[in-house]
Amino acid sequence: MRQRQASVVIIASALTLAACAARPVATKVAAPPSDRSAINGNEERLRALVAARQQTERDSEYVIAPGDLLVITIYNFRPGGGNFESEVRVDDRGDISVPFMDPLPAAGLSLAQLRAAFVRGLRESRVLNEPLVSVFLKEYQGQRVIILGAVARPGQYHLSRGQQTLVDVLSMAGGLSDRAGNYMLCRPSSPGQVAAAANDSIVQDYALHAASAVAPPARAPADMVVFRLDSAGGGTNPALLTLPVRGGDLFIVPEAGQAFIEGEIEKPGSYPLSRGMTLTQLITSAGGLAYPANRRRVTLIRQTGSGPSAEWALDVDRIREGEEGDVLLEPSDRVVVPATVGRKIAHGAYRTFTALVHFTVGGVASVF
């Protein structure tokens, strides 16, 4: 019995020394880009959209939409200098009506353009030769946007005059849910479009498949802009704070989905992605790296659209020490933790040795 124990100890010691000698040399590895090329292109489109809308705000006035409530005042209209004042709501056809004029198209016009149309109509109808008219927007009801997906209250929302940016829309929808991924999809309204329609094909398609599908950003429809909810350097993407919204805009927040981790990890398997989840956070959620893990060559496998998947070798030690940036995970990412050969052999020998010791001790104890 003593000879067998001595042999086991000698073998285990030799394997452990071999493992120390076989420790791999650290190699420089490249982390995946912070944004995929498809996302980079969409970020450029997003910046262009923000700039265009901000310029439009500077250069033009508010555009009237169905549902808006207007106050029309015609000065010196009544005998003795009395004014005529009327509140009129823009109907579903985009028209407004006042008692002494035919229905007047209003949707799609600025307040100044509608005032000019009133003046022209009063002259042509010979109600007044030199009419003085003001048009005031009392209720901003016509501009509607749709936000779907991983928000607290998805649905259609009316914009008010004090709610004109994307962050305001998110606030009305109750904010992002804990299921939200790292991206938002935005389909901007086309020029002249004043309302996002509930029977829109993309709205119906998303509602039909939302429970089972997460739209990967690289496969978003061509007319949609995809951007991160977090900026590449951390914190909120400035687009959330600066993007002016318009009636007819559609926003979709896909759920985060899952990531997969396998290999030398304590608890391999699939894990739900929380918003902003990184590689090191996934490793922690999976119980940490096992002893044989090669910490310097952890592989991240990511599907990059319709083409072949891409792979990156990541150095977890350098990431944890702050020498390399952590990696933001995306839906369906797969992380493979390989083993260091020497550590794997030593770990196997150690487990064999401890099993034999337990067996030997148990056998001796049973004799007594």
Pairwise CA distance, residues 48 & 54, whole Å: 10
pLDDT value of residue 329: 87
Determine contact, residues 210/149, Cβ cutoff 8 Å: yes
- Chain centroid offset of residue 124 CA: 53
pLDDT value of residue 269: 94
Q: What is the largest CA-CA distance in the chain?
A: 124
- Measure Cα distances from 77 to 135, 159, 233 in Å: 15, 34, 61
Determine contact, residues 199/295, Cβ cutoff 8 Å: no
Determine contact, residues 66/194, Cβ cutoff 8 Å: yes
Determine contact, residues 83/75, Cβ cutoff 8 Å: yes
Pairwise CA distance, residues 274 & 224, whole Å: 24
Tens-digit pLDDT profile for residues 307-330? 788 899 999 999 999 998 888 888
Pairwise CA distance, residues 295 & 250, whole Å: 43
**Which of 64, 146, 78 has its CA nearest to residue 113?**
64
Tens-digit pLDDT profile for residues 200-247? 444 444 443 433 333 333 334 456 777 777 754 555 677 677 788 888
Pairwise CA distance, residues 324 & 321, whole Å: 8
pLDDT value of residue 359: 55
**Which of 146, 168, 171, 142 has its CA nearest to residue 157?**
146
Q: What share of the chain is helix, strand, coil (3-state, %, to 5)?
A: 35, 25, 45
Least confident range from 63-67, 263-267, 333-337: namely: 63-67
Structure-token match 């050969």, residue found: 341
| Confidence check: pLDDT of 31 > 80 | no
| Confidence check: pLDDT of 255 > 90 | no
Determine contact, residues 75/82, Cβ cutoff 8 Å: no
pLDDT value of residue 43: 65
More confident residue, 36 or 159: 159
pLDDT category of residue 351 using cuts at 50, 70 and 90: low
The full set of domain ranges for the chain reads: 2-32+257-346, 37-60+142-253, 69-139
Tens-digit pLDDT profile for residues 138-172? 877 767 889 999 999 999 988 776 557 888 889 99
Homologous superfamily assigned to 2-32+257-346 = Outer membrane lipoprotein wza domain like (3.10.560.10)
pTM for the full predicted model: 0.56
What's the whole-number mean pLDDT along residues 116-132?
82
Pairwise CA distance, residues 63 & 69, whole Å: 13
Pairwise CA distance, residues 364 & 355, whole Å: 14
HSE toward the beta carbon, residue 81, CA cutoff 13 A: 0
CATH match for 69-139 among 3.40.47.40, 1.20.120.430, 3.30.1950.10, 2.40.180.10: 3.30.1950.10
Q: Which helix (H) or strand (E) holds 237?
A: none
Pairwise CA distance, residues 199 & 203, whole Å: 7
Question: 23 exposed, middle or buried (CB, 10 Å; 0-12, 13-18, 19+)?
Answer: exposed
Strand spans (E) along the chain: 69-75, 84-89, 95-96, 104-105, 132-139, 144-149, 155-158, 183-187, 225-228, 250-253, 258-263, 269-272, 298-302, 310-314, 334-337
